[in-house]
Amino acid sequence: MARRSTPDLGGSFALGARRVHRVGYGAMQLAGDGFSGPPRDHDEALRVLHAAVAGRVDHIDTAQFYGSGTVNGLIREALHPYPAGLAIVSKVAVGHDTRAADLHRGIEDNLRALGLDRLAAVNLRMPDPLAVPDRGFDAQLASLVKAREQGLADGVGLSNISRQHLLRALEQTEVVCVQNLFHLLDQRSLDVLEECAQRGIAFVPYCPLGWPLAARQRILDSPVLAELGTRLVATPTQVALAWLLDLAPNVLLIPGTRTRAHLAENLRAGDVVLDDDARAALQRSFPPGERRPTPDPHALRPPTGRTRSLGPPESPGSGDAGSPGR
């Protein structure tokens, strides 16, 4: 079968009041090594962003703490004034002593750096998905609800949460998206994905190609993905991303990259159609089940604009190989 001249991008799904293509772009990797500081190649970073929008990407995920503010600056430099219909989603991180004022200031920092009056959504990112949601969670969530009411964001989302967090949040407000770690080797958030699917909430898996790096390597080196890629005329990366799209119609992807070649590869994942034999082979090789806790690629401090990575910094010249593929 001949390929389309432009990527299909997996169809579309609702992101709150908007509707976006199911394959988007995650901007975290535009930061420097260890996800901090400026990019290795400033001009290529701008070209990647231009290529994403030219490829009809209309959902970009970012955060002010990516590259200590440099990533949001790159997005603004490359794309402002923004194309109509482009949904930019950001997040604010929660620490144990994070106050509502900190979260509000974090949202304003994102808007200022991006040159926006309003985000498509802002995610409340929890430090520990295993923590029991309490009144502190309620207060932090309320600060994002207030920001939405003030017109700073169209929707409120959650990140790094359990199903219990989601259900407690839904008692208090509408939730437009959930971002959780999810890939072939770590499917612990399957119950969250299923709850989101039942409620029509977008589920956005981060690190979709695996994290930590050993997991990513195991996924992309899998002979099963290689065999399926040969049969489906796709790369292992595209098969791994297509598996996520195939799980449920509410899955929105935000794979990240710092090169145009990998961006083009990622965008074509929406063209890959898995059949029953492919699904069965992937389930046999990567059965769902409890996985041991993995390091968080964000490992965020409270929203001060700084980030600390638990993963090893990428080695010079490693391209995307050392990155989580957010």
Q: Is pLDDT at 317 greater than 90 in this prediction?
A: no
Residue in 196, 164, 195, 191 with CA at minimum distance from that of residue 177: 196
Q: E-assigned strands of 156-244?
A: 156-159, 177-181, 202-206
Query: CB–CB of 238/246 below 8 Å?
Result: no
Confidence of residue 297 (pLDDT cuts 50, 70, 90): low
Residue 147 sits at the vertex; the CA angle it makes with 145 and 151, to the nearest 5 degrees, is 115
Q: Is pLDDT at 12 greater than 80 in this prediction?
A: yes
pLDDT at residue 313, as a whole number: 29
The reply to whether 66 belongs to the active site is yes
pLDDT at residue 319, as a whole number: 37
The model carries a pTM of 0.90
Range in 16-20, 67-71, 81-85, 289-293 the model is least confident about: 289-293
Q: Is pLDDT at 292 greater than 90 in this prediction?
A: no
According to DSSP, residue 148 is labeled H
Distance CA 270, CA 312 (A): 31
Residue in 239, 215, 208 with CA at minimum distance from that of residue 226: 239
Range in 28-37, 63-72, 109-118, 198-207 the model is least confident about: 28-37
Residues in a beta bridge with 180: 205
* CA-CA-CA-CA torsion sign (116, 106, 122, 313): positive
Q: Is pLDDT at 267 greater than 90 in this prediction?
A: yes
Give me the mean pLDDT over the 192-221 stretch: 97
Q: Is pLDDT at 21 greater than 80 in this prediction?
A: yes
Give me the mean pLDDT over the 34-44 stretch: 90
Question: Can you read off the two tokens belonging to residue 115?
Answer: 């040159």
pLDDT mean across residues, the chain: 89
Query: CB–CB of 297/326 below 8 Å?
Result: yes
